[in-house]
Amino acid sequence: MQELGNGLFALEAEMPCSPNDIKISRYMLPRLFSNDAVGEATARVISISQDKDMWVGVSASCLARIMEADLEAHRGIRNAQRHNSNEPDRVRRATLRRNALCVLTLGVYGFFTEKPVANMIELQSASLPCSVIYKADDIMGVVCAIGTLITDGMFSRIDRDNELIVFPTPKLASLIMERQGATIQ
């Protein structure tokens, strides 16, 4: 088992296809598994393999780190959207308050205060993939799905230095290719 770094390991077993032969959306295998979390766990490992252009095994800590980073990015975007949607109301209320105080002080208040302005948060243009972890706001559903995939023989597991490493199996690749209607070489 050759370590590629950052919790990734080269798969030495023979696979029926290349990871790039599998058609997936980022972190999503639509209508392939009955459980969305199982589909996402599979898609995440395959996506990493596609990025490396070879089948790889992924350590659980690496997978958790990637999911936590995605979840934090999603939370940041969600909070920015919430702030931006509430900002016009805040500005309207501040303007009404300022106008009322200007009327009460015969305009003197307006000389000593600034007009309220909207403080909008700029959203990053990076688009996040659709993910089960955003709905649950937690990664545990996908982590538990990895156990299901190991039990079903779709992933193989290796324990190395108290670290769980999961590898896709030929059974998984064959099943996905079959359900996608592709021929296996």
Mean pLDDT by 10 residues, the chain (185 residues): 81 85 77 80 88 90 89 85 91 94 91 90 72 78 87 88 88 85 60
Q: What pLDDT is attached to residue 182? A: 63
For residue 175, the model assigns a pLDDT of 86
Task: Give residue 15's pLDDT.
Answer: 87
All structural domains of the chain, each given as residue ranges with its CATH number in brackets, are: 3-69+131-179 (1.10.10)
Which uninterrupted H or E stretch holds 159?
strand 155-160
- What whole-number distance in Å separates Cα of residue 29 and Cα of residue 144? 17
SS3 call for 78: helix
R_g (Cα) of the chain, nearest Å: 25
Give CA–CA dist 52/62, Å, rounded: 15
Q: Give CA–CA dist 153/75, Å, rounded.
A: 34
**74 close to 91: Cβ distance less than 8 angstroms:** no
pLDDT of res. 185: 53
| pLDDT attached to residue 91 | 94
In this structure, the strands spanning 155-160 and 163-168 are antiparallel
Which H or E run contains 167?
strand 163-168
- Angle among Cα 55, 137, 84 to the nearest 5 degrees reads 115
Strands lying side by side in the sheet with 8-10 = 3-5, 8-10, 56-59, 163-168, 155-160
User: Of the candidates 13, 6, 8, 15, which has an alpha carbon nearest to the alpha carbon of residue 185?
Assistant: 15
Cβ contacts of residue 29 below 8 Å, gap of 6+?
Answer: 39, 40, 42, 43, 46, 176
Name the helix (H) or strand (E) containing 168: strand 163-168
